[in-house]
Amino acid sequence: MKRLIPFIVIALLAAMSQSCVKLDIIPKNIVTDNELFNTPASVDIYMARMYSRMPFEDFKYMGQWGFENNGWLNSIGIDGTGEAVNRDGITTAFTGERTAYWGQAFELIRDANHLLETLPQYQANFSDELYNHYLGEAYYIRATVFYTMAKRFGGIPLVTKVIQYPANDAEIEVARATEEETWDQVLADFDQAIELLQERSPQEGYANKYVALSFKAQAMLYAGSVAKYNETVSGRLTGVGRKTQVRVIGFEESRWQAASRRYFEESYKAARRVMQDGGFALYRRRWIAGDKQAQYQNMVDMFSDLSSSENIYVKRYLFPTLTHAFDAYNMPFSFRAPLSAGTCPTLDFVELFEGFPRYPDGKIRVTTGNNNASGDYVMYDNPLEFFKDAEPRLRAYVIFPSDEFRTRQIDVRAGVYTGVTPIKPFFSNYAYNTADERYQNLPIFNGSNKTLYLSPREGNGQQTLQYQGQTMTAAGQDGPFFDNGEATLTGLYVRKWLQTTTNIETGEGKSAQPFILMRYAEVLLTAAEAAIELELAGAPSPDGSSLLQVATDNINQIRERAGASLLIGSLTPDNAGRDIVRKERRKELAFEHKSKWDIRRWRVNHYEGRDGFWGETRDKNFYSNNENYRFRGLYPFFSTQEGKYFFDTRFQWVSSKTFGYQPIDYYFAIPGGEVAKSPLIDQQPNR
């Protein structure tokens, strides 16, 4: 060590006496605009960076967490939409995101603005068509980011140029614009993008004219709905910021009507252009008229077929480098790898679909009485018989008890009943206020005259009994287990998006199926909804087409492909007609991260508006009180005396979840740190 010291001293001296050379040269390891905007291949690099930051709600997004680009535990439809529930705390109403979409947004906006301001200097490097397309991409990306923020916060800082840094406060600080200005900016940016983008993406993953048109239609439907339905919330859901006196949420009383109508018109026109010129069509590759099996298979296939004529915009994954874990978290319990049952569809969702016996009030019938608390249970030879007439689309979205998945039968059974038949409903009361009474609290389960067998867990946790000389487990191999939320909580599993190939390996980071961010069915539904809203507003058709005819045709196209019955006659220009469109949207676009935005823009999540939560009118007091709401399951039981199955409909039995929502949640809070550090950024005035 001692011998080293002189060397160290010399080395240090040498190092310190170097700085006579001029160091002001461009470092070799930094890529400059000159290099980036040089060839199409180098612009790809710029685009790749922007696209990697795009706020796509796909397999790596969850409502509770926000944009964390994280595939961990990803489930879909669990954010208080009623489509599904799961055991974890992530099953909660969409009242905010753990990672608020704010800082990330401005990084991406800066990249888009930089492209818009810098590319003109390099125009000579590209053909006119490509040059315009690149600018179109920047507008499209900026529109997407503004739109993504506006849905969450209302008015936002509209940063439409690159802000040089450092600079004084006056240049750096940008206040929130009004909500109306924000939507107008979204509209303007989408329109610029539509003007500039090519008809077909020059490269896979790029946007194109129809992508921009489709999202414009979606965004304007959101804007038009907010402007209109804010009026249905007490206090009109509007206010001005404390620091700036700018109307950062909601619309002025004198302006909302015109704004709403204008946005619906823009939505309709954009959707119509996609319909007329886009060349897209609903996926019907395996569809056969009158063949439920084929119609079901067709709708299973469409989510993984990359050549689908319905796909407008697709987020692709690639094994093994760019993957997610949707299969690993959402398959039935017997396939768990390592988790399962992350998305358990609810009975309330199933109730939207056709093909079930019903009570007079429209609820799914499981007994011979007038509601599920009266009469005797109806018996079925096997659980699947109950679903024999179910809409093929529902079967493509949801795995029914005893239906097959990857050539295996999914064994779902809530319990076994050994008492005499006919069987009266297990509970005397199925009302909301008794939702916390469970099957395991019933005297027939834990009393001295035991006739009901249920299982707290799988394997050795199963209760067993003898049936026809054989040992039978109380619960099926796929649950539900009343002390283990790793199996189904509702009696149902999700099927949509799951890979169906049997030989495929599943696990965390092993799934690579694509996520369809925009498909033609949505455009049809958007056109239909905008059309009805325009009729309701007494507005003429923006393009001369018959609004009601277009809406009716669109709904029928979707219903026909889904295997549902067609409309009788035309849709009517009233709330009933509107609700038919809304319900169809709720059904078709379930488990696609869309419904949570729909119930938000319809303003039907808080108690006073909750009758409209399902797109159709349902009495909110059936499934909520003035604080919370819940969802139900569909539980198959086996009767040993009959050798048959029957169903009980009951509020979610396992890992019971309640959801709460207040009107202030229609606009998320601005991140506190952003408000505190800026002299201009306003918090929501109603918080």
Partner 1 sequence: MRHRNMKYSIILVLITVLMSNSACSFFELDNYDAPDVTLNGEVVDVLTGKPVLTDQGSEGTRVRLTELSWGDNVEHNPDFYCMPDGKFQNTKLFKGNYHITVDGPFIPLQRRGTDGTIIADESIVMDLENTHNVRMEVQPFLQVEWVGEPTVSNGKITAQVRVTRGVNPADFKAKVEPMGNYNDNLLNMTDIQFFVSYSSSIGYRARDERWSTRIDYSGNDFNSLFGETITVTSNGQIPTGRTVFIRAAARINYDTPVGSGVRRWNYNEAKEVLVN
Q: Give the DSSP letter of residue 618.
A: -
Q: Is 502 a residue that touches partner 1 (CB under 8 A)? A: no
Shortest Cβ distance from residue 373 to partner 1 (Å)? 14
> Which amino acid does the sequence have at 131?
Y
**Residue found by looking up tokens 């189904």 in the block:** 488
Only segment of 231-239, 366-374, 516-524, 645-653 that touches partner 1 (CB under 8 A): 231-239
The yes or no reply on residue 441 touching partner 1 (CB under 8 A) is no
Of the candidate spans 84-92, 347-355, 383-391, 621-629, the one that interacts with partner 1 by CB under 8 A turns out to be: 621-629
Place of tokens 């009393």: 447
User: Do the bridges between strand 415-417 and strand 632-639 make them parallel or antiparallel, or are there none, so unpaired?
Assistant: parallel
What letter does residue 403 receive in the DSSP assignment?
Answer: -
Choices 108-116, 127-135, 426-434, 500-508 (CB under 8 A): range interacting with partner 1: 426-434
Point out which span in 23-31, 57-65, 188-196, 232-240 binds partner 1 (CB under 8 A): 232-240
The encoded tokens of residue 208 equal: 């194109």
Q: Could you say which DSSP state residue 115 is in?
A: H
Q: Which is nearer to partner 1, 33 or 252 (CB)?
A: 252
Stretch that binds partner 1, among 228-236, 301-309, 394-402, 467-475 (CB under 8 A): 228-236
Q: Report the residue number, 171 or 436, with the smaller CB distance to partner 1.
A: 436
Q: Which is nearer to partner 1, 105 or 681 (CB)?
A: 681
Q: Which is nearer to partner 1, 519 or 606 (CB)?
A: 606
Helices 256-277, 520-536: axis angle to 10 degrees equals 140
Q: Does 685 bind partner 1 (CB under 8 A)?
A: yes
Distance CA 436, CA 370 (A): 23
Tell whether residue 234 is a contact of partner 1 (CB under 8 A).
yes
107 binds partner 1 (CB under 8 A): no
Torsion region of 256: left, alpha or beta (phi above 0 gives left; psi -120 to 50 gives alpha): alpha
Position 686 contacts partner 1 (CB under 8 A): yes
Q: Which of 241, 332, 476, 633 binds partner 1 (CB under 8 A)?
A: 241
Question: Which is nearer to partner 1, 253 or 505 (by Cβ)?
Answer: 253
- Interactions with partner 1, residue window 548-607 (CB under 8 A): 606
Q: Which of residues 652-681 bind partner 1 (CB under 8 A)?
A: 662-664, 672, 675-676, 678-679
Sole window of 136-144, 433-441, 557-565, 589-597 interacting with partner 1 (rule: CB under 8 A): 433-441
Stretch that binds partner 1, among 198-206, 403-411, 430-438, 534-542 (CB under 8 A): 430-438
3-state SS string for 159-211: CCCCCCCCCCHHHHCCCECCHHHHHHHHHHHHHHHHHHCCCCCCCCCCCCHHH
Residue ranges of E strands in 61-169 = 84-85
- The reply to whether 237 sits near partner 1 by the rule CB under 8 A is yes
# binding residues, partner 1 (CB under 8 A): 38
CB of 246 to partner 1, least distance (A): 8
Tokens for 502? 């049997």
Q: How far is the CB of 663 from partner 1 (least distance, A)?
A: 2
- DSSP H or E run through 650: strand 644-651
Q: Is 669 exposed, middle or buried (0-12, 13-18, 19+ CB in 10 A)?
A: middle
> What gap in Å lies between CA 552 and CA 566, rounded to an integer?
9
Residue 432 is a binding residue for partner 1 (CB under 8 A): yes
Residue closer to partner 1, measured from CB, 29 or 433? 433
Q: Are 336 and 405 in contact (CB under 8 A)?
A: no
Q: What CA–CA distances, in Å, run from 566 to 12, 110, 519?
A: 84, 48, 21
DSSP 2-68: GGGHHHHHHHHHHHHT-TTS---S--TTS--HHHHTSSHHHHHHHHHHHHHT----STT-BTTTBS-
Where does this chain touch partner 1 (CB under 8 A) — which range of 212-220, 414-422, 467-475, 625-633? Answer: 625-633
Nearer of residues 169 and 204 to partner 1, judged by Cβ:
169
Distance CA 397, CA 568 (A): 25
| Residue 659 C-beta: closest distance to partner 1, Å | 15
Phi, psi of 149 (to 5 degrees): -75, -40
> Smaller CB distance to partner 1: residue 252 or 376?
252
Cα separation, 84 vs 596, whole angstroms:
12
Instruction: Give just the sign of the alpha carbon dihedral 74, 80, 85, 87.
Output: positive
Residue 292 binds partner 1, judged by CB under 8 A? no
Contact window for partner 1 (CB under 8 A) among 37-45, 332-340, 432-440, 481-489: 432-440
CA-to-CA dists, residue 234 to 237, 238, 318, 407, angstroms: 7, 10, 48, 52
Q: Of 159 and 240, which CB lies nearer to partner 1 in the complex structure? A: 240
Piece in contact with partner 1 (CB under 8 A), picked from 11-19, 87-95, 230-238, 446-454: 230-238
Q: Give the residues across from 415 on adjacent strands.
A: 637
Smallest distance from the beta carbon of 631 to partner 1, in angstroms?
A: 16
Q: What is the number of other CB atoms lying within 10 angstroms of the CB of residue 30?
A: 7
Told to check if 238 binds partner 1 by CB under 8 A, we report yes
Is 503 a binder of partner 1 (CB under 8 A)? no
- Looking only at the bridges linking them, the beta strands covering 515-519 and 408-409 are unpaired
To partner 1, the closest distance from the beta carbon of 245 in angstroms equals 4
Which range binds partner 1 by CB under 8 A, 249-257, 453-461, 465-473, 648-656? 249-257
Phi, psi dihedrals of residue 517, rounded to the nearest 5°:
-80, -30
Which CB atom, from 29 or from 254, has the smaller least distance to partner 1? 254
Q: Using CA atoms, how far apart are residues 221 and 597, in angstroms rounded to an integer?
A: 11
Q: Which amino acid is at 175?
A: A
434 binds partner 1, rule: CB under 8 A: yes
CB 95 within 8 A of CB 110: no
Report, in Å, the least distance between residue 22 CB and partner 1: 35
Contact 516, 575 (CB under 8 A): no
- Of 116, 435, 454, 571, which lies in the binding site for partner 1, with binding defined by CB under 8 A? 435
* Residue 509 beta carbon to partner 1: minimum distance, rounded to whole angstroms: 37
Q: Is 235 in the site for partner 1 (CB under 8 A)?
A: yes
Residue 635 backbone dihedrals phi, psi, to 5 degrees: -110, 115
List 433, 529, 611, 612, residue binding partner 1 (CB under 8 A): 433
| Residue 236 touching partner 1 (CB under 8 A) | yes
Q: Which residues bind partner 1 (CB under 8 A)?
A: 1, 233-243, 245, 249-250, 253, 429, 432-436, 606, 625-627, 662-664, 672, 675-676, 678-679, 683, 685-687
